[in-house]
Amino acid sequence: MKIQFFQKPILITLLALFFILQTHAQENLPFGQRKEIISPEVHQDNSVTFRLLAPNADSVSVTGDFAQGSEKMTKDADGVWSFTTHPLPSELYTYAFMVNGLQMNDPNNVYYRRDVASTLNIILVGGGEADLYKVNDVPHGTVAKRWYESPGNKANRRITIYTPPGYESDKTSYPVLYLLHGMGGDEEAWPTLGRATQIIDNLIARGKAKPMIIVMPNGNVAQEAAPGESSDGFYKPNFRLPNTMDGKYEETFIDIINFVDKNYRTVRNKSGRAIAGLSMGGYHSSHISRYYPNTFDYVGLFSAAIVPDKNMKSKVYENIDGTLLKQKQNGCKLYWIGIGKEDFLYQANTDYRKKLDAMDFKYIYRESEGGHTWRNWRIYLSEFLPLLFN
């Protein structure tokens, strides 16, 4: 591999530049470290080594969802702390270091995911279910960040839209999945934490899912866009936002459907629409699919919150049982409920299934291990997508 690009004088000045720039954070060139650290390193057998150069630290450990608790790291003669895991099951993991009791990110890993107000490093261990979360050498859809007019909220709002490979070159009309995030999420949640665009690319390539458009809106009507992406500027994100589960999003969801049907080649009827979401997004999916009769043939509730606050006054929450019965009578090709055994919403979902059973409302029920986690929501999405639009 030939890597001489420059005439010698230019090369020398370039190298000189690198040393000058060490002191300037803005350029962030990867020079000037005493030792090149690779962290994390995923080995052939799916064990992972974490490394941190911290010669003066007294104690360093690594904490993440690959382990219970934290794992002590050990220091070598060069001041590099390291820890190697056992072979790990295939998954997308998050982790951080604890240095003398202070949590910090891995300076040698540029891959991060924000979840509300925290940002953690990620690692992808393949060879199993997480192969669906990888960017593989398959045709890729387009991921667009757009703004749409919401007359119901008197606002322009940001939205993430995935169109499948081929969308731009053919004339086909595509079915649409509306995919909703949980409390504290936004239009960035499914594409980042949920790896939704990788999952659908891979499932389409494997012939396991129909090509479809996936619409990922922002379900916080008090927000125009994800933190940092609106005129509110860079602020510390909050978990609890106002007007999040008060019916307003459901009422104004028609603005999103209208926007999508106007701007994309969609299948503009019930058989071409699915709606699914996690936690608060499952709540929204259940209520939206009731509230707009004959609009969605496919509904997915992932670890869903179900029951609205009794004091919440909205026409969306009037006559829930009656509209649910109507939804059943109108027909709904797939009503899918997924919940983890350790989820704090397990009982609420059990109660809800009893209600559905009592009215002979057919659904598919998927009970998984674990709780209220992105790990489960990625798995649910991977299982739900192949069932759509068949």
Checking DSSP bridges between strand 48-53 and strand 80-84, what pairing results, if any? antiparallel
294 contacts 318 by C-beta, under 8 angstroms: no
The vertex-309 CA angle with 305 and 314, nearest 5°, equals 105
Radius of gyration in angstroms for the set of CA atoms belonging to the chain, rounded to a whole number? 24
Q: Quick one: 45 or 309, whose CB is closer to its own copies?
A: 309
Instruction: Please give the residues from 120 up to 139 whose contact with its own copies meets the rule CB under 8 A.
Output: 120, 122-124, 126, 134-137, 139
Contacts with its own copies: how many residues (CB under 8 A)? Answer: 107
- Nearest residue (CB) to its own copies, 175 versus 237: 237
Range 326-329, long-range pairs (CB < 8 A, 24+ positions): 326/290, 326/293, 327/289, 327/290, 327/293, 327/361, 328/359, 328/360, 328/361, 328/362
Using alpha carbons, select from 226, 241, 262, 252 the residue that is nearest to residue 154. 252
Site residues for its own copies, window 151-190 (CB under 8 A)?
156, 158, 165, 168, 184
Per CB under 8 A, the list member of 116, 205, 325, 387 interacting with its own copies is: 116
- Long-range contacts at 36-45 (CB < 8 A, ≥ 24 apart): 37/80, 37/108, 38/108, 39/106, 39/108, 39/109, 40/95, 40/106, 40/109, 40/121, 40/123, 42/123, 42/124, 42/125, 42/126, 43/84, 45/87
Take residue 231 and report the two structure tokens written for it. Answer: 């005129």
Binding to its own copies by residue 261, rule CB under 8 A?
A: no
Candidate residues 98, 245, 276, 324; the one interacting with its own copies per rule CB under 8 A = 245
Give the start-end residues of each E strand in the chain.
Answer: 41-42, 48-53, 60-64, 70-72, 74-75, 80-84, 91-99, 102-104, 112-115, 118-125, 142-150, 155-163, 176-180, 213-217, 273-278, 298-302, 334-340, 364-368
Mark 306-335 with x for binding to its own copies (rule: CB under 8 A) and - for no binding: -x-xxxx-----------------------
Tokens for 79, please give them: 């001041």
Minimum distance from CB of 43 to its own copies (Å)?
Answer: 13
- What's the min distance (Å) between Cβ of 102 and its own copies? 5
Which secondary-structure segment (H or E) carries 198?
Answer: helix 196-205
CB of 285 to its own copies, least distance (A): 16
- 299 in contact with its own copies (CB under 8 A): no
Least Å from the CB of residue 235 to its own copies? 9
Q: Does 360 bind its own copies (CB under 8 A)?
A: no
Choosing from 19, 34, 76, 117, the residue that interacts with its own copies (CB under 8 A) is: 117
Tokens at 218, concatenated: 């922002």
Nearer of residues 179 and 304 to its own copies, judged by Cβ: 304
Binding to its own copies by CB under 8 A, coded x per residue (else -) over 206-235, reads: -------------------x-xxxxx-xx-
C-alpha distance from residue 106 to each of 96, 130, 266, 355 (Å): 6, 22, 43, 48
- Which residue in 205, 320, 348, 387 binds its own copies (CB under 8 A)? 348
Among 240, 354, 358, 390, binds its own copies (CB under 8 A): 240
Question: Contact with its own copies (CB under 8 A): which of 49, 90, 127, 143?
Answer: 143
Q: Are 269 and 334 in contact (CB under 8 A)?
A: no
Among 13, 172, 271, 350, binds its own copies (CB under 8 A): 13
- 356 belongs to the binding site for its own copies (CB under 8 A): no
**Positions 33 through 72 that interact with its own copies (CB under 8 A):** 38, 54, 56-57, 63-65, 69
Q: What is the smallest separation between the CB atom of 297 and its own copies, expressed in angstroms?
A: 27
Q: Which of 128, 242, 293, 322 binds its own copies (CB under 8 A)?
A: 242
Q: How far is the CB of 270 from its own copies (least distance, A)?
A: 25
* CB 133, min distance to its own copies, A: 11
**Hey, what are 258's tokens?**
């209208």
What minimum distance in Å lies between the beta carbon of 227 and its own copies?
7
- Answer for which of 372, 385, 388, 389 binds its own copies (CB under 8 A) is 372
For residue 29 the two structure tokens come to 């060139």
Answer whether 82's CB lies under 8 Å from 92's CB. no
Shortest distance, position 361 Cβ to its own copies, whole Å: 22
Min CB(87)–its own copies separation in Å: 18
